[in-house]
Structure 1
């Protein structure tokens, strides 16, 4: 028998083939939710969904595709309803980081970052909200911002701009979505040990030195906060951004 805080809940999590998104999916299913797990990489999607289904018995449905594509977003919402009967949670975790000096940053790079980070998040929230309203169920939306949306960071002007935008989007949607019982919040992770950041052999050492609590976050640190914001424990929390950075933004030392 399925039990847990998220029993009978159905979530879409984008960009979840590994790292933070994967851990959010795993923790949601462990707490009873069914999940549409998305990643742009088909192999990562299949492997991630397979791992979770092996652990949790078939409550994860993998969908590979571009989380910034409106048609695909609508397909994910339809799949949630088809496979699990409804949709109650949408977590826009997919995003890309393209470092670059401001003076030489290209239009192509800017378009790619904004299309994924802002456009994909905006239209997932829109499609999910329409489904929540049709169900008359309320719902939870969570955007993945970043500490770079709070504090300046060298060579990340475009990325930081998109992450700050998501915080404002969460705040603004309170006006339009609260009457339907939909909460909208954002998370702003700091340095986090993932498969991607582990490719830098100095990453953990550098961010352990720069972080007041003495270590970068783990995906579980971020996932636990995400689960709080999409749970009934946070039913009166909306329009907020929770920073999870071990204290880094309080002092903001640069790794450069």
Structure 2
């Protein structure tokens, strides 16, 4: 897959899956605008990527659910690099909570980041890609919980299922401009955040048919394929990367 001379925006990329996607894209010749709400993480990620390929990554710390900031990322890509080819709306938050006690504040925050940020980033990117007249690729990060229910994740799961429907709907809106839109749905994945959870790797290794959780590279390889020229005829689809877990849906220890 060739990504040479392309320009990408990836949100929620200070660490974990988003960072690995940025690292792989830069390694393959793409110039990446790397977003994270955490300034320190964003700058650290920029430095790590630029060590391997100087000036291939620009950190833009900020709130990926803020429409003004979203527009500024797209404007920066065009002003500095002249184009925008790939957008990956990876930023998202998980706010666990009992359905009966879930607050309006938590609900609104999950929707603003997971849905609002993804929707308006896609909108801003698609406008630019349409004007360029040579197409582009948009990718949303969904989740296996958009396919399989887990306790205390009603609001989060709802947003992830909605992203997959958004990708399908945008097929109608964007295909005529040669913009394809897909989602990747990770299962349990070893990241800096999940490794802080007690026994995470052991628990998910025991219940995942392939015998382990995903590595960030598993998700990143899938993401790169879906935004590559080789996948231009794939659109409106969701690709689950979970080692087979949704096929059996064995619950983690202690969850009923």
TM-score, reference length from structure 1: 0.98
SS in 1 for 2:69: helix
Query: Which moves more between the two structures, 51-60 or 13-22?
Result: 51-60
CA positional deviation for 1:134: 1.1
Match among 226, 230, 233 for residue 233 of structure 1: 230
Secondary structure in 2 matching 1:7: coil
5+ residue gaps, structure 1, are: none
Partner SS state of residue 190, structure 2 = coil
CA distance in 1: counterparts of 2:200 and 2:47, whole angstroms: 29
- Residue of structure 2 equivalent to 1:75: 72
User: 1:125-144, aligned counterparts within 5 Å?
Assistant: 125-144=122-141
Aligned equivalents of 1:137, 1:38: Cα separation in 2: 25
Following TM superposition, by how much is the alpha carbon of 1:17 offset from its aligned partner in structure 2, in angstroms? 0.1
Return the match for 2:160 from 153, 160, 163: 163
1:98 equivalent to 2:98? Answer no
Shift of 1:201: 3.0
What stretches of structure 2 of length at least 5 have no aligned partner? none
Q: What is the RMSD of the two structures over their aligned residues, measured on CA atoms?
A: 0.7
How many residues are paired up? Answer: 253
- Which secondary structure state, in structure 2, belongs to the residue aligned with residue 64 of structure 1? coil
Residues 22-57 of structure 1: CA distance to partner in whole angstroms, max 9, x if unpaired?
000000011110000000000000000110011111
Alignment correspondent of 2:47? 50
Distance 2:53 2:215 in 1: 22
